[in-house]
Chain A
Amino acid sequence: MSHTRNQNEQEPQTPHLDSIRKEELFQVPMGYFESLPDAIMKRIAEDEKPAARILSIFSRRFYWAAASVAASLVIGWFVYEWRSNQSERASAEAPMAEAIDTSSHGASQEVAHQEQAADKKEIINYLMDNGVELSTITEEL
């Protein structure tokens, strides 16, 4: 009695499940198991290939490289602009510099004349103080 009850507890009543005919429910495509080992070995060979190195455009290294190139271009552009401005300014300033040079040359000549005149006056004063006749001094100069 007890044994029967234990068995009933172990095996539940399953009228619906029992009514289902047991049969093979699934098929595979023709020749599937013959080709499966090759497919598996192909997958393994693909997995063992060294992966191609892909440089992502979103990697930090790429950003640094792009930033360096951009910075180089900007600096290069500034240097180019600065140099061309310099050469333009130099060519624009050249005639003015010449003019300045010319005018300063004239001024220096005048200063030299004035200095020479001052020197003569001092010499004359010195000679007259030392008793040399003005007529003699005039002849000598």
Chain B
Amino acid sequence: MQALSDRELMNRFQEPSQRHAVFLVVVDRYQKRIYWHVRKLVLDHEDANDIVQNVFVKAWKNMEGFRQEAELFTWLYRIASNESFTFLRQKKARTTLSIDEYGDAFIHQLTADPLFTGEQIHAKLMLAVETLPDKQKQVFNLKYFQEMKYEEMSQLLNTSVGALKASYHHAVKKIEAILSDN
């Protein structure tokens, strides 16, 4: 079953006896890409783990009605993005710290995390990324960290290449300004 295309897997998923086996192949195929996308957004492993599990639980519940108008990964990626941004908004709403306090706490928490292997400057970069609007954050992560081509990103985010370039341009200018302030 591992060799089947996404479309073939989705067709097999319609047979109730095959569902679990098909779904395990889907999880195995995309768990890493989904995890790293989520982790780059929420940064903490435990948070990312919870979100990734939620993403696949939602996918399981809705896969029967998945019409394959988008690619399977694109569909999973959008669920993951929505879950991550919802999580981040809720987390931000709970924060009572001022902007300065938040920045210090953010860098301290990230550099103290044993699963973060970067240096102080990387933590500052992640803090700068944290200040971006949702769309710019996604575009920056895909372009800067994953070095994804704009054409591929365009399909994934359902946005024109021109708009993506503009988003990246704005994101980079903001990040550069934040890094130069420090």
Query: Chain A: residues with CB nearer than 8 A to chain B?
Result: 10-17, 20, 22-29, 32-33, 36-37, 39-41, 43-44, 47
Query: Per DSSP, are chain B's interface residues mostly helix, strand or loop, or mixed?
Result: helix
Chain B residues in 8 Å Cβ range of A11 = 169
Q: Does B115 contact A (CB under 8 A)?
A: yes
* Chain B 164-181 residues near chain A, CB threshold 8 A: 165, 169, 172-173, 175-176, 179-180
- Whether A40 pairs with B169 at a CB distance below 8 angstroms is no
Q: Is the CB of B118 within 8 A of A25?
A: yes
In the complex, the answer to whether B122 meets A20 with C-beta atoms within 8 Å is: yes
Give chain B nearest CB distance to A111 CB in angstroms.
98
Which residues of B lie under 8 Å from residue A41 when comparing CB positions?
Answer: 20, 23-24
A97 CB to closest chain B CB, in angstroms? 81
Of A22, A27, A33, A37, which is within 8 A of B24 by CB? A37
B172 with A17: CB separation less than 8 A = yes
Within 8 A of A (CB), among B19-59: 20, 23-24, 27-28, 31-32, 35-36, 39-40, 43, 45, 49, 52-53, 56-57
User: Would you call A27 and B122 a contact (CB within 8 A)?
Assistant: no
B157 within 8 A of A: no
A24 to B146, CA, bound (A): 10
Sampled A-B contacts (22; CB under 8 Å): A10-B165, A12-B176, A14-B176, A16-B176, A17-B125, A17-B175, A17-B176, A20-B125, A23-B122, A25-B118, A26-B36, A26-B45, A27-B116, A29-B45, A33-B31, A36-B27, A36-B31, A36-B49, A36-B52, A37-B24, A37-B27, A41-B24
- Chain B contacts for A24, CB-based, 8 A: 117
Q: Are A43 and B57 in contact (CB under 8 A)?
A: yes
Which residues of B are at the interface with A, using a C-beta cutoff of 8 A? 20, 23-24, 27-28, 31-32, 35-36, 39-40, 43, 45, 49, 52-53, 56-57, 60-61, 115-118, 121-122, 125-126, 145, 165, 169, 172-173, 175-176, 179-180
Tell me the bound Cα distance from A29 to B173 in angstroms.
34
- In angstroms, Cα B173 to Cα A12, docked, is 7
Q: Do residues A40 and B56 form an inter-chain contact, with CB atoms below 8 A?
A: yes
| Inter-chain contact B27/A26, CB cutoff 8 Å | no
Our pick among A12, A15, A20 for the contact of B169 (Cβ within 8 Å) is: A12
A10 to B45, CA, bound (A): 34
Q: Which residues of B contact A16 (CB under 8 A)?
A: 176, 179-180
Residues of B within 8 A of A22 (CB): 145
Measured CA separation A85–B45 after assembly (Å):
76
Q: Which one of B45, B56, B117, B180 lies within 8 Å of A25 (CB-CB)?
A: B117
8 Å CB contact of B35 from A10, A14, A28, A43: A28
Shortest Cβ distance from residue A72 to the other chain B in the assembled complex, whole angstroms: 46
| A11 CA / B144 CA spacing, docked (Å) | 13
Question: Whose C-beta in chain A lies nearest to the C-beta of B20?
Answer: A41
Known: A40-B27, A40-B56, A47-B57. A12 touches B172 (CB 8 A): yes
Residues of B within 8 A of A14 (CB): 172, 175-176
